[in-house]
A = this chain, B = another copy of it.
Amino acid sequence: MEKALTPAMEDYLELIVKLKQENKVVRVRDIAKGMNVKMPSVTSMLNSLAKKNLIHHERYEYVDFTPLGLKQAQKALHKHMILFNFLKNVLKLDSEHADDEACRMEHAVSSATLKKLVEFIRFIELCPKGTFDFLEYFKSHCRDGSSKEKCEKHLKESLEKFFPKGRVQ
């Protein structure tokens, strides 16, 4: 079994993916800038990543992924984006903070929790038009799933209890 990546390694991989998208080509200088470290730290980390078969790197040349490395990087980036989305669109943090925080949270959050979070966001976005007893409903959604129809049905039922006369005004 392969040993798990360290948080720092994940951060580097993620940055490398982004740099590749932006610049086509990935160089030590830019990784250093992006990670806020000095170039020798990058060289050293690149050696570690290469030893783990996550990147290719020949002395003085550009950096590139192995297939394994690319997969890992994308996985990390995916986690990042979900957390970013939650922080920005649910908790309403500004983009910069949301990005910082997501970057640190990635390494703490298991994929089980991430899945739950995705469910939760999906739920909120599916039923933004409101529902009664939100968390109770979320629980049943986790068990049985949701649909627009179910939401409306649930809403009607809940309204009955809340406004017993059946009238809204």
Contact = CB atoms under 8 A, between A and B. Distances in A.
* Max count, chain B CB within 10 A of own CB: residue among A93, A97, A117, A159: A159
Identical chains in the assembly: 2
Nearest to A120: B91
A11 to B, nearest CB: 12
A134 B128 contact: yes
Interface of A: 87, 89-93, 97, 100-101, 104-105, 107-110, 112-113, 116-117, 120, 124, 127-136, 138-139, 142, 155-156, 158-160, 162-163, 166-169
Given A100-B110, A155-B162, 7 more contacts: A97-B110, A124-B135, A128-B134, A128-B135, A129-B133, A129-B162, A130-B131
29 contacts: A87-B113, A89-B135, A90-B135, A92-B139, A93-B113, A93-B116, A97-B110, A97-B113, A100-B110, A101-B108, A101-B110, A101-B113, A104-B107, A108-B108, A128-B132, A128-B134, A128-B135, A129-B132, A129-B162, A130-B130, A130-B133, A155-B162, A156-B168, A156-B169, A159-B159, A160-B168, A160-B169, A166-B167, A166-B168
